Chain A
Amino acid sequence: MKAKFGHYLRVLGSLYLLLAITTGLAFLPLDAWNWLPSVVIAFVMAGLIMLFFMRLRQSEPLLWLTSASGFAWLSLLMLFVVLDYISRPWPR
């Protein structure tokens, strides 16, 4: 149990650290692009939670596939929707 506790604590520490970084980066004057670093870091944090808190690391490959499928299909939705908006005069 002790070892497990330390293991989860290290994950939590990394998450805290990433939170500090993403909050700090938000003050950079990136204007329209300021979403980029923070969303990338959000994905890293989500990855840590999935791997360790949700124990994906010890799980069968089937669960890896399932966990990826939701994000994969969402990216299909976003890809084609964004494709439409960037290729027409919008906003009018």
Chain B
Amino acid sequence: MTAEAAAEPLNFPFKEAAHQRESALFGMWIFLATEVLFFGGMFTAYTVYRYSHWQAFQEAARHQEWYLGCLNTLVLLTSGFTMALAVECARRGNRGWLLGLLTITWVLGAAFLGIEGYEYHSKFGEHLVPGSGFHFDGTDPGGSELFFVLYFTMTGMHMFHMFVGLMLILFFGVWTRFSPRETAMPNRFEVLGLYWAFVDIVWLFLYPLFYLVHPR
């Protein structure tokens, strides 16, 4: 099998496959730059509040299970690896391997959401969900509430991106499985792979900022 075997049908106004591919990748990278700034607004808020309430953040973070965060990071890194391989297979037109790797990626992503959901669930039991039901015994309960406000909005926004990624994998995977075409359409998987890796990267920052503040 030769490298770069898979062919992509040309969309108007493109006349060459390479030209179309580089434009698609460029477009996706621009979109990811906007995503950096989208999450960046929240990271800025985190920076300001961690600076002003760092002790309250440490107290709050004692209620975080660092090993769950670590496990989730492990799961997500692995899914990033399988996705990168899947993209490689799509580019080589290897449909069987592509579908297999996509399935593994999907399962890993779903497992991540499961672990995260379990954590959310236990936070409810401990009255650590911000709002009227929030209760915290500490020197600066307000500052600790800010920690959990940021925890829920930032991981929630990240989970939403994960969910979109899972839906896209499902959609493109099923489409590829049942399409009469012999090979996959590589460009969409390359773009999807970029998205998935980006969501990975966001988590790499969330992990230390929410789980490693004060692990025990």
Question: Are the CB atoms of B81 and A70 closer together than 8 Å?
Answer: no
Q: How many residues of B contact A (CB 8 A)?
A: 54
- Chain B hits for A66, CB < 8 A: 26, 29-30, 33
Give B59-95 as 1s and 0s: 1 = Cβ < 8 Å from A's Cβ atoms: 0000000100010011001101101110110001010
Number of A residues near B (Cβ < 8 Å) is: 49
- Residue contact A69 to B66, C-beta cutoff 8 Å: no
Chain A residue with the shortest CB-CB distance to B22: A60
Contact B208 A26 (CB under 8 A): yes
Query: Roughly how many angstroms separate A62 CA and B203 CA in the complex, as a whole number?
Result: 26
A residues in contact (CB < 8 Å) with B: 1, 4-5, 8-9, 11-12, 15-16, 19, 22-23, 26-27, 31-32, 34-35, 38-39, 41-42, 45-46, 49-50, 52-55, 59-60, 62-63, 66-67, 69-71, 73-74, 77-78, 81-82, 85-86, 90-91
User: Can you list 5 contacts pairing A with B, beta carbon distance less than 8 Å?
Assistant: A22-B212, A34-B213, A45-B204, A63-B26, A73-B33
Binding site for A on B (CB under 8 A): 1, 22, 25-26, 29-30, 32-37, 40-41, 43-44, 47-48, 50-54, 58, 66, 70, 73-74, 77-78, 80-81, 83-85, 87-88, 92, 94, 193-194, 197-198, 200-201, 204-205, 207-209, 212-215
Excluding A23-B212, A73-B40, 8 further A-B contacts by CB distance (< 8 Å) are A16-B74, A19-B74, A38-B208, A38-B212, A39-B208, A46-B204, A53-B193, A73-B36
